[in-house]
Amino acid sequence: MGCRICIALLLGYLAACAEPTCRGSDEKYYAQAVGYQLAKRGIPYEIRPGGMVCVDARHASDVVAAEREAEKYFPQVAHLLKDSCEERAFVEWATRERLRFDIRDANNLEDGRPERMFLLRSFNAEELAANKRRLSNDAPQGVSCPKEKQT
């Protein structure tokens, strides 16, 4: 009986000392999106520097499921920016509205030209719908830098 208790205590100790499972991305707000999904499931998590979301090793499959769920909403609202003036207008608008947003480098699929993309980050279906409306109805689309006069 005493040996069984020792083994049970040892196994409990080893489980408590197991390395956590961590997943992450360099995308702004990604860790918070995954954390949101974990919190909905009641899974305790920690966001570490560098955008890593960590859970107890026994929840490894839960963090993968949370990433899959976050991906349904997170990258879905985007706008290709025409120039630096439109980028500045979008940043000012999103900051004023307190929206979760990011600006990322992108490449034009047709000619490989570098471009900039504005992204509104959504954590759930309701936010996704609201962010699509915001981008369509409220964003300062069409702002552009003045063209230099031709001489």
User: How many angstroms separate the CA atoms of 46 and 109, rounded?
Assistant: 37
13 pLDDT higher than 60: no
pLDDT reported for residue 7: 52
The answer as to whether 87 is a domain residue is: yes
pLDDT reported for residue 51: 87
Among 71, 87, 102, the domain-final residue is 71
Same domain, residue pair 83 and 64: no
pLDDT reported for residue 9: 47
- Under a CB-based contact definition with an 8 Å cutoff, are residues 73 and 128 in contact? yes
Other C-beta atoms within 10 Å of 21: how many? Answer: 18
Same domain, residue pair 94 and 66: no
pLDDT in tens, 17-37: 568 899 888 899 999 999 999
pLDDT in tens, 66-112: 999 999 999 899 999 999 999 999 999 999 999 999 999 988 778 87
- Under a CB-based contact definition with an 8 Å cutoff, are residues 36 and 125 in contact? no
Same domain, residue pair 62 and 83: no
Same domain, residue pair 94 and 129: yes
Other C-beta atoms within 10 Å of 30: how many? Answer: 21
The answer as to whether 119 is a domain residue is: yes
Residue 117: domain span: 77-137
- Under a CB-based contact definition with an 8 Å cutoff, are residues 58 and 69 in contact? no
Higher pLDDT, 147 or 151: 147
The answer as to whether 48 is a domain residue is: yes
The answer as to whether 10 is a domain residue is: no
Same domain, residue pair 83 and 130: yes
How many folded domains does the chain comprise?
2
The answer as to whether 67 is a domain residue is: yes
Same domain, residue pair 81 and 119: yes
Beta strand 46-48 pairing with 77-81: unpaired
Indicate the residue type of 95.
T
pLDDT reported for residue 55: 96
Question: In which residue are the tokens 């830098």 written?
Answer: 145
